[in-house]
Each structure stands twice: as C-alpha cells, then as structure tokens.
C-alpha cells in the first residue's frame, strides 16, 4: 500500500522491491489497484514499478500492489522497499522501509508406490519427495486424513526416531532446493479417498519448513462374493479356476 503526495505533471514515481520479488503481473504490474487520486497505469520490470504523472495540476495518488513472496526472506541488507519521487531528474523525496520476514513453504509430493493400493490393506509403501527452502536434519510426517496407520512403518531412508499411529519422525539430511526422498514401508492403508498429510522439517528440534496438502487417492477395498463364485465353479466343473 503506497501513497504519493504533491505529485506534479511530469514527475516520476519509482518503487523498488526487495531482492527476490517480481512486480510483473500477467497483465501489467502485479495486482496493481488505484485507490485514490488519478495517475496513469504504471509499468513494471523485474522488481521495479514506475509511472510518470500527467494532467494539469498536483495530485495525491494512493495505490496498492499484490505480489507473490519469494521462497525465503531476503538478506537483511537487501530486504528493503525503496520509494523515490523525482522531478526533472532531481530527487524530490525518498523513503525506505524494511520488508517482513517470510515463512518458507516447501514443495512436497506424496506417492503410493506400486503394489497394494486398496484401502484397509497392509504392506503399503509411501514415498515423500520434499524440496525444502531451509536446511534441516529431520523430517516429521503426519497422516491427517485417510493416510493410514504408521505405527508399524519402517524406512531405509535415514534413521527412524519415533513412530505413532499417525506420525513418524526420521532423521534425514535436508538440503535447501534439493529433493529429499523418504519412503515409509509397511504402512496399513486407511479408508478410501484422497489422503491428506502434514510434512515438517526440523533442525535441532526447531521447525524449519511446514507443508500441508493432499497426496494420492486410495481405491476402495475390493470385495468378492465367494458364494456366487463357488456356484460358477460348480456349474463348470472342468474349469481350472478355484477359490483361494
């Protein structure tokens, strides 16, 4: 949210975002909206927004822009929004204010590996592919919905520290921006439907990244009417099929 006061025709207003931000939107500047006053639509390039005032007199212009945060907080010396008001190339006014801290959000994919895929089945293997924003030494996985029973799960990726019905903690080196793979084996799958998960990375016990979202979809449990099957076998005695 910005406000420029006493802007004369021909004056230029510039706003420079912190390192890592882009002010460019799909059409013009990202989420630009004029709130009060009048000014031509600004132009944006990279982290810079600018416009040159037109008209017959001074204006006070208030506007906002909506931007997408970068993956992590910029360095302290680079985390500033800078504003300049120039007239005929001469600096009339300038201001700078610190940007806010950004809570990193990791990218996580959850896959059910080939094998048993029906609900309420044991022996399932689930793969978690985690691309974190910050370094960590542990991954904590929690089943929120339809994820199954993790209390009997095992892993060959890292060291299993603790496990409960819905949560597993595994020590595993997590490198920022690099995909870390974790496979949980011997998971008892739960009810059919879309699975929901929470994945947290930690360093020395402190939370570094946190993600919640949907994983794979579990198929319903397959049921066979054994009585009907037996009747079919009796009706065709030469058949080589036999009930299990």
Tell me which of 34-38, 46-50, 198-202, 231-235 is least confident. 231-235
Question: Can you tell me the mean pLDDT for 134-159?
Answer: 88
Query: How far, in Å, CA of 51 to CA of 15, rounded?
Result: 9
Length of the chain: 244
- At residue 221 the predicted structure's pLDDT band, cuts being 50, 70 and 90, is low
Res 64 pLDDT > 60: yes
Whether the pLDDT of residue 130 is over 70: the answer is: yes
As a whole-number percent, the residues of the chain with pLDDT over 70 amount to: 82
Q: How far apart are CA 236 and CA 85, in angstroms?
A: 91
Would the pLDDT of 77 be above 70? yes
- How many secondary structure helices (H) and strands (E) does the chain include? 1, 16
- Side-chain half-sphere exposure of 171, counting CA atoms within 13 A: 5
Q: Please tell me the distance from the alpha carbon of residue 183 to that of residue 170, in angstroms, as a whole number.
A: 10
pLDDT of residue 229: 46
pLDDT in tens, 162-174: 999 999 999 999 9
Q: Which of 183, 165, 166, 187 is nearest to 117 (CA)?
A: 187
- Helix segments in the chain, DSSP class H: 226-235
> Which helix (DSSP H) or strand (DSSP E) does residue 140 occupy?
strand 136-145
What would the mean pLDDT of 119-131 be, rounded to a whole number? 77
Residue 122 — pLDDT band, cuts 50, 70, 90? low
Q: Is the pLDDT of residue 105 over 90?
A: no
Residues 6+ apart with CB under 8 A from 101: 73
Give Cα 178 to chain centroid, integer Å. 15
For residues 169 and 181, the answer to whether their CB atoms sit within 8 Å is no
Q: In 15-27, which positions are buried (b, 16+ CB within 10 angstroms) versus exposed (e)?
A: bbbbebbebbeee
Does position 146 have pLDDT exceeding 90, yes or no? no
Residue 227 in this model has a pLDDT that exceeds 80: no
CA distances from 107 to 98, 200, 211 (A): 27, 11, 7
Q: State the Cα–Cα distance between residues 53 and 34, nearest whole angstrom.
A: 14
Q: Tell me the pairing of strands 12-16 and 90-98.
A: unpaired
More confident residue, 185 or 58: 185
CB atoms within 10 A of CB 169: 19
Percent over 90 (pLDDT), the chain: 31
Classify residue 112 by burial, with Cβ atoms within 10 Å: 0-12, 13-18, 19+.
buried
SS3 46: coil
């Amino acid at each position: 949210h910005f406000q420029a006061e006493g802007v004369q025709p021909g004056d230029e207003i510039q706003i420079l975002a912190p390192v890592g931000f882009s002010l460019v939107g799909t059409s013009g500047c990202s989420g630009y909206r004029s709130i009060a006053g009048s000014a031509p639509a600004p132009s944006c390039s990279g982290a810079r927004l600018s416009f040159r005032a037109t008209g017959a007199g001074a204006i006070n212009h208030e506007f906002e822009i909506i931007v997408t945060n970068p993956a992590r907080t910029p360095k302290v010396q680079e985390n500033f929004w800078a504003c300049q008001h120039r007239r005929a190339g001469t600096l009339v006014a300038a201001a700078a204010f610190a940007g806010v801290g950004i809570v990193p959000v990791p990218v996580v994919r959850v896959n059910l590996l080939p094998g048993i895929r029906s609900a309420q089945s044991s022996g399932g293997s689930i793969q978690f592919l985690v691309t974190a924003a910050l370094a960590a030494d542990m991954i904590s996985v929690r089943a929120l919905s339809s994820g199954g029973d993790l209390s009997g799960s095992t892993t060959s990726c890292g060291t299993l520290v603790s496990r409960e019905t819905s949560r597993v903690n595994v020590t595993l080196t997590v490198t920022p921006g690099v995909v870390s793979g974790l496979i949980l084996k011997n998971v008892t799958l739960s009810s059919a439907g879309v699975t929901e998960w929470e994945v947290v990375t930690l360093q020395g016990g402190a939370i570094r990244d946190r993600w919640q979202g949907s994983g794979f979809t579990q198929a319903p449990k397959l049921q066979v009417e054994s009585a009907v099957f037996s009747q079919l076998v009796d009706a065709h005695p030469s058949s080589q099929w036999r009930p299990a």
